[in-house]
């Protein structure tokens, strides 16, 4: 397991972390293209009213992700 | 004189980078929407006069992050760039990048450089970049990429003259090689490159990486490429992750050198503050429902004024032509078949234009991404997707543009379910039917002195359609199985004021699509139906006048009343009338007679034809005057009971039937096109009509 076992889904609004890697190869190619690169900073901005999806900032812009997608991005913090 | 081949310039870039603004700026009104050959992807092209050169053709490619497609629309981008022999292969490319968000915009550029195609980098939104405090060394960036860089502001037109000048001059592709192909597969790449006469190794590499997405390849070609790929142990997507990391590494190195000052992290503060309002737990939904209410109000109140005008104009034209053209079947076809048919299309233009004005404004401002964000969780519970919201909303105006709007949904299952249930949303063609039937059976009283009963009934029908859509989606969620995963990774653009000319272009584009796509089917069907309703077995039709004369000799009818009687008699004995009578046993359990049966048949061109047919069959001539029709329907007697024909039970049964039934040939045609076959439109027809029949049956039996 990369990182300390935590993923973007475990972050709280306002928190910043470093992307460590991905636990899902299929989704990882898509995430990489959108700028989720290992070693880059990611900021967790806020969640939708029902807790899913979430809004994050990465590589200089804002993106929304479902919690299930956020859970495949492991982080170092 | 042989004409010089027009230079082709493609606009490429990721979504939200300002591509449409630039396209509209360059081409103005000289643009049109077609289809890429063989696929249902909108191809927007236009002409642009470059300095001192003949007009060039500008192609607006679908927005994409890279050459690896995520949705149907994006595949065309990979297809074009992988194939130098493609009809749309451009001579030059303008890559539009959002200057405030350069990193992810440059990924596609590095791929284009490797494809070895002459490219210009247009840095857009330089005003926002300046406001954010960002500062870029453009000369250094251009030198590092070996690509000319132009600063533009596509919304205000800044920098376009420089861009045009640059495009008019000869342009060399960058000689950079950014991504190095793994040495162990180089022989395979070289082989493919030679075999298909490609201009770059990277294009050949694309053939090996995503063979199945390249539709221009024949099956044999695909098989032989896959054979080569197998020999070298290449499988789709094998190197994609490594490639992306490699490219971003290159981009980051350059950015580290050329970015003189990073943006102030505070610059998006205002956008975030808006987000805290628009995505608020309660406020967010309240605002969204407020927006929906506004859209509803505009479609159902404000649009009625121009619609009424169009309706009157076509009715006048039809009457005028009937009276002035000489007698004969051809002239009758023009006056009574074609003109009303075109009128039946034109009448929906105001509603469609207004709906797309709203949708376009919501998209321009960035609010639409927040709607997707708010609704995704709820929608995915019933097998839909946050991105299904726009198609479903559009369905209130017309299912045709709505179904075309589903192309933004990447996941096939989600898209299919959205397409399948969208026609349940009560479209504007149902409204005239609803209005007349509700006025007929629901008293014009106020509930608690406040709620108008008729208004409540109408709202109930819209709700019924919406619930049918949601519940059907839920059922389909469990019936359709797919290996493809649904995901929602989407940019949340910074809020901006809408650019009104972009809104205008969208309105024109969508309205045109509706008029031509739906129009041709509606027109064709209305002509067929007109023939069915005007012709019948010769002996019955020829004797119409005499028979009616004999029957009504002692009634002392006016000339108009007599002719209306003849028209009703002719309709009764026409082929449509015969079909109506034949199907009477089938619709009797719903409370309908053959007269209503005829109206059901003619509704297949467009539902609102119901009103006109009812008017004709009850000898009202071609009136569309509501009180007249209402009073006539009220006085119609059911010979079996001696009571009124249109009892509340019959009325409610009809309302439920019209809410749920698939009675729109043009929708079926679009569904066939979007799903590439007859399977889904036929299932949709069977399912919706079956559900409508069953529900109408239950309603009639319960109420009567």
pLDDT at B336 over 60: yes
Cβ–Cβ contact A71 with B under 8 A: no
Calculate how close chain B gets to A44, using CA atoms only, in Å. 12
Q: Which residue of A has its CA nearest to B488?
A: A65
Q: Contact B111/B4 with Cβ under 8 angstroms?
A: no
Mean pLDDT of all residues in B557-565 = 76
Contacts of B66 in chain A (CB under 8 A): 33
**Which candidate from A33, A48, A65 shows the least CB-CB separation from B377?**
A48
Mean pLDDT of chain B: 87
The tokens describing B213, both together, are: 């997405």
| A18 compared with B51, residue with greater pLDDT | A18
Question: Quick check: helix, strand or coil at residue B264?
Answer: coil
Nearest CA-CA partner of B121 in B151, B100, B101: B151
pLDDT of residue B1: 38
Q: Is B275 on the interface with A (CB under 8 A)?
A: yes
Among A38, A40, A60, A71, most B C-beta atoms within 10 A, so best to mutate, is A60
- Those residues whose C-beta lies under 8 Å from the C-beta of residue B103, and which sit 6 or more positions away, are A35, A59, A60, B248, B251, B252, B255
Least confident of A51-65, B319-333, B539-553: B539-553
State whether the Cα torsion B554-B560-B561-B563 is positive or negative.
positive
Yes or no, beta carbons of B104 and A59 under 8 Å apart: yes
List the strands of the sheet with B149-151, edge to edge. Answer: B31-35, B42-49, B55-60, B8-12, B92-98, B119-124, B149-151
Which residue of A8, A48, A57, A65 to mutate against B (max B Cβ within 10 Å)? A48
DSSP assignment of B395-423, as one string? TTT-HHHHHHGGGG---HHHHHHHHHHGG
Provide the shortest C-alpha distance from residue A71 to chain B (in Å).
13
Q: Which of B103, B374, B380 sits opposite A59 (nearest CB)?
A: B103
Sign, CA torsion B92/B98/B104/B106: positive
Interface test with B, best of A21, A26, A30 (most B CBs within 10 A): A30
Return residues 468-507 of B near A (CB < 8 Å).
485, 487-494
Per the structure block, which two tokens stand in for B222?
A: 């695909």
Which candidate from B100, B244, B485 shows the least CB-CB separation from A33? B244
Structure tokens at B340: 């009303």
Per CB-CB distance under 8 Å, the chain B contacts of A37 are 245, 248
Q: Is B280 helix (H, G, I), strand (E, B) or coil?
A: coil
Beta-carbon separation of A63 and B487 below 8 A:
no
Q: Check whether B478 has a pLDDT greater than 50.
A: yes
Q: Both tokens of residue B289?
A: 């429902």
CB-closest option in A37, A38, A69 to B487 = A69
Contact A55 B490 (CB under 8 A): no
What pLDDT is attached to residue B35?
67
ipTM comes to: 0.93
Q: What is the pLDDT of residue B623?
A: 57
CB contact under 8 A, B104 and A49: no
- Beta strands in B411-570, from DSSP E residues, in sequence order: 446-447, 451-452, 490-491
Inter-chain CB proximity B244 and A32 less than 8 Å:
yes
The pLDDT value given to residue B277: 93
DSSP string, B556-587: ---HHHHHHHHHHHHHHHSHHHHHHHHTHHHH
pLDDT at B53: 73
Cβ–Cβ gap A46/B285 under 8 Å: no
Q: Both tokens of residue B119?
A: 């490219």
Q: Which of B237-241, B623-627, B680-684 has the highest mean pLDDT?
A: B680-684
Is residue B653 within 8 A of residue B590, CB to CB? The reply is: yes
Pairing of β A73-76 and β B149-151: unpaired
Q: Which residue has the tokens 């149902």?
A: B430
Measured between beta carbons, the chain A residues lying within 8 angstroms of B241 are 25, 28-29, 32
B31: β partners: B46
**Secondary structure of residue B46 in the 3-state scheme:** strand
Other beta carbons less than 10 A from residue B315's beta carbon: 17
Closest CA to B602 of B616, B588, B592: B616
Nearest CA in chain A to B14: A34
B494 to chain A: which residues are within 8 Å by CB? 62
Q: Confidence band (pLDDT; 50, 70, 90) for B340? A: confident
Average pLDDT of the segment spanning A24-31: 88
Length of chain B (residues): 704
The C-alpha atoms of residue A14 and residue A12 are separated, in whole angstroms, by 6
Which of B532, B624, B622, B626 lies closest to B572, judged by CA?
A: B532
Min Cα–Cα distance to chain A from B635, Å: 54
| Cα–Cα distance measured from residue A21 to residue A76, given in angstroms and rounded to the nearest whole number | 9
More confident residue, B245 or B447: B245
pLDDT for B22 beyond 80 = yes
Of B85-89, B264-268, B651-655, B699-703, give the lowest mean pLDDT range. B264-268
Name the nearest CA neighbour of B218 among B226, B209, B228. Answer: B226
Q: Do B489 and A29 touch (CB under 8 A)?
A: no
Find the closest chain A residue to B489 by CA distance. Answer: A65
Give the per-residue pLDDT at A2. Answer: 47
Q: List the structure tokens of A28.
A: 């990882």
Cβ(B137)–Cβ(B43) below 8 Å: no
Q: What is the CA angle B78-B79-B80, rounded to 5?
A: 95
Tens of pLDDT, residues B277-295: 999 989 999 999 999 888 8
Q: What is the pLDDT of residues B169-211, one digit of tens each?
A: 999 999 999 998 989 999 999 999 999 999 899 999 999 988 8
Asked if residue B2 has pLDDT above 50, the reply is no
For residue A4, give how far its alpha carbon lies from the nearest alpha carbon of chain B (Å): 22
Return the residue in B244, B264, B368 with the most chain A beta carbons within 10 A, the one to mutate for interface testing: B244
B373, B482, B486: which to substitute to probe chain A, counting the most A Cβ within 10 Å?
Answer: B373
Q: What is the pLDDT of residue B610?
A: 84
The whole-angstrom separation of Cα B140 and Cα B217 is 40
Of A32, A34, A53, nearest to B376 by CB-CB distance is A53
Please choose, from the candidates B109, B117, B119, the residue with its C-alpha nearest in 3D space to the C-alpha of residue B81.
Answer: B117
Residues B103-133 pLDDT 10s: 999 999 999 999 999 999 999 988 888 888 8
Global pTM reads: 0.83
Q: What single DSSP character describes residue B97?
A: E
**Averaged pLDDT for residues B609-617:** 78
Mean residue pLDDT across chain A: 90
Q: Do residues B179 and B239 touch, judged by C-beta distance below 8 A?
A: no
- Give the pLDDT band of residue A1 (cuts 50, 70, 90): very low
At A39, phi and psi to the nearest 5?
Answer: 95, -10
Task: Establish if B690 touches chain A: CB-CB under 8 angstroms.
Answer: no
**Beta bridge mates, B93:** B10, B119
Choose the most confident range, by mean pLDDT, from B298-302, B554-558, B661-665.
B661-665
The count of residues in chain A is: 77
Query: Which of A25, A48, A66 shows the shortest C-beta gap to B487?
Result: A66
For B366, nearest residue in chain A (alpha carbons): A62
């Amino acid at each position: 397991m990369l990182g300390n076992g935590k993923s973007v889904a475990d972050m709280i609004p306002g928190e910043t972390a470093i992307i460590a890697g991905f636990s899902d190869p299929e989704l990882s190619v898509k995430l990489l293209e959108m700028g989720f690169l290992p070693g880059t900073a990611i900021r967790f901005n806020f969640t939708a009213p029902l807790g899913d999806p979430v809004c994050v900032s990465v590589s200089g812009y804002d993106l929304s992700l479902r919690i299930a997608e956020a859970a495949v991005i492991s982080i170092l913090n | 004189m042989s004409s010089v081949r027009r230079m082709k310039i493609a606009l490429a870039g990721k979504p939200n980078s300002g591509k449409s603004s630039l396209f509209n700026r360059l081409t103005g009104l000289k643009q049109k929407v077609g289809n890429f050959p063989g696929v249902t992807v909108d191809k927007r092209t236009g002409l642009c006069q470059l300095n001192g050169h003949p007009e060039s053709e500008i192609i607006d490619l679908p927005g994409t992050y890279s050459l690896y497609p995520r949705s149907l629309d994006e595949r065309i981008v990979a297809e074009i760039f992988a194939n130098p022999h493609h009809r749309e292969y451009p001579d030059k490319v303008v890559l539009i990048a959002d200057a405030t968000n350069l990193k992810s915009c440059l990924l596609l550029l590095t791929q284009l450089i490797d494809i070895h195609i002459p490219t210009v980098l247009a840095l857009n939104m330089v005003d926002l970049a300046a406001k954010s405090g960002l500062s870029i060394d453009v000369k250094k960036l251009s030198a590092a990429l070996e690509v000319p860089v132009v600063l533009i502001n596509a919304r205000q037109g800044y920098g376009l003259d420089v861009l045009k000048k640059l495009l008019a001059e000869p342009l060399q592709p960058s000689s950079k090689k950014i991504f190095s192909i793994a040495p162990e597969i180089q022989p395979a790449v070289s082989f493919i490159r030679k075999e298909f006469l490609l201009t770059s190794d990277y294009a050949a590499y694309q053939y090996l990486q995503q063979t199945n997405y390249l539709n221009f390849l024949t099956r044999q070609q695909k098989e032989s490429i896959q054979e080569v790929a197998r020999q070298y142990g290449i499988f789709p997507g094998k190197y994609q992750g490594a490639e992306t990391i490699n490219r971003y590494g290159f981009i980051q190195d350059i950015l580290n050198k050329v970015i003189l000052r990073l943006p102030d992290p505070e610059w998006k503060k205002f956008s975030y503050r808006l987000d805290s309002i628009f995505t608020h737990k309660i406020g967010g939904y309240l605002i969204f429902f407020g927006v929906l209410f506004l859209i509803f109000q505009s479609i159902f109140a404000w649009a009625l004024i121009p619609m009424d005008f169009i309706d009157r104009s076509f009715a006048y034209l039809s009457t005028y032509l009937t009276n002035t053209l000489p007698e004969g079947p051809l002239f009758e076809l023009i006056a009574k078949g074609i003109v009303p048919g075109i009128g039946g299309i034109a009448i929906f233009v105001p509603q469609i234009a207004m709906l797309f004005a709203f949708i376009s404004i919501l998209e321009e401002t960035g609010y639409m991404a927040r709607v997707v964000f708010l609704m995704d969780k709820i929608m995915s519970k019933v097998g839909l997707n946050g991105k299904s919201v726009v198609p479903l909303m559009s369905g209130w105006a017309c299912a045709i543009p709505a179904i075309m709007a589903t192309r933004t949904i990447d996941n096939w299952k989600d898209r299919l379910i959205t397409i399948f249930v969208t026609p349940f949303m009560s479209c504007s063609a149902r409204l005239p039917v609803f209005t007349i039937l509700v006025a007929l059976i629901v008293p014009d009283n106020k509930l608690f002195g406040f709620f108008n009963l008729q208004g409540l009934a109408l709202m109930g029908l819209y709700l019924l359609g919406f619930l049918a859509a949601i519940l059907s989606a839920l059922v389909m969620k469990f019936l359709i199985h797919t290996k493809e995963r649904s995901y929602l990774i989407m940019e949340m653009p910074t809020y901006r004021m809408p650019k009104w000319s972009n809104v205008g272009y969208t309105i024109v584009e969508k309205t045109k699509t509706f008029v031509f796509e739906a129009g041709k089917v509606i027109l064709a069907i209305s002509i067929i139906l007109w023939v069915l309703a005007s012709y019948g077995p010769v002996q019955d039709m020829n004797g119409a006048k005499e028979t009616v004369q004999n029957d009504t000799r002692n009634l002392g009818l006016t000339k108009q009343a007599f002719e209306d009687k003849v028209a009703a008699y002719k309709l009764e004995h026409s082929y449509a009338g015969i079909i109506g009578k034949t199907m009477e046993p089938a619709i009797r359990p719903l409370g309908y007679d053959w007269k209503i049966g005829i109206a059901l048949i003619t509704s297949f061109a467009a539902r609102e034809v119901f009103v006109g047919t009812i008017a004709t069959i009850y000898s009202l001539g071609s009136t569309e005057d509501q009180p007249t029709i209402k009073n006539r329907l009220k006085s119609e007697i059911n010979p079996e009971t001696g009571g009124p024909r249109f009892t509340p039970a019959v009325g409610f049964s009809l309302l439920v039937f019209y809410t749920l039934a698939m009675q729109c040939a043009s929708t079926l045609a679009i569904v066939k096109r979007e799903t590439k076959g007859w399977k889904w439109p036929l299932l949709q027809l069977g399912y919706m009509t079956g559900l409508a029949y069953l529900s109408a049956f239950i309603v009639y039996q319960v109420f009567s």
